[in-house]
Amino acid sequence: MAYVPLDPSPPSRLSRTLLRYARRKYGDLQPAAAAGNHSGVLLANGALETVVARRWTKLDPHLRHLAVQAVSGAIGCSWCIDYSYYLGVTDGIDPAKVRDVGRWRTSDVYDERERLVLEFAERATATPATVDDELAGRLQAVFDVEELTELAAWVALESYRSRFNAGLGLVSQGFSASCAVPAWPA
């Protein structure tokens, strides 16, 4: 249960306007409604997400989805895990890869590049972060500077999102239930 109102018509006119826009573009997302309790938070989140959607385009989207799912899982935000799964599958990532993020070390569905992204996401999300020179060197051998910068930004952004949502008691809205996950062969 959310710890703040998820009012579709908050008292602030700015928040009402921004929420209407967000609903038309993305649907009824609880984090937007929660942020609507503070017009400055809602405006800042909207500005950030708009820039992210338009300008963070260097990293392979499948790698981004894996990193975001890893951060969501590490923090334990059920809303983010659910929504990230939905977005990843909708964007064409193999559902098994999204499902196995929590066991990436032992799963056979990942290639070495994906494992490197998952390791980075896990270690950068740890408190304190445990990214060291050895890991940085392996990342630099695979990713150019823009990709690596964007990967770090995705991990940090998802940490912010997950902690905001979990901190306000937001839980899964059931997005992943709408994914058409193929049945496993018998």
What is the domain range of residue 93? 61-176
Question: What confidence score (pLDDT) does residue 11 get?
Answer: 82
**Count of domains in the chain?**
2
pLDDT in tens, 139-174: 999 999 999 999 999 999 999 999 999 999 999 998
- Note whether residue 148 is domain-resident: yes
Percent of the chain whose predicted confidence (pLDDT) is above 70:
95
Hey, what amino acid is at 20? Answer: R
Same domain, 77 and 142: yes
pLDDT in tens, 9-23: 888 888 888 888 888
Same domain, 42 and 78: no
Taking the model in full, what pTM does it have? 0.91
Q: What is the dihedral of CA 167, 171, 50, 181, to 10 degrees?
A: 150
Rounded mean pLDDT of the chain? 91
Annotate 48-91 with DSSP letters as a single string. HHHHHHHH--SS-HHHHHHHHHHHHHHHT-HHHHHHHHHHHHHT
Same domain, 66 and 148: yes
Provide the 10 A C-beta neighbour count for residue 72: 27
With a cut of 50, say whether residue 181 has pLDDT above it.
Answer: no
Question: What confidence score (pLDDT) does residue 180 get?
Answer: 53
- Note whether residue 70 is domain-resident: yes
Same domain, 41 and 85: no
Same domain, 98 and 23: no
With a cut of 50, say whether residue 89 has pLDDT above it.
Answer: yes
With a cut of 70, say whether residue 183 has pLDDT above it.
Answer: no
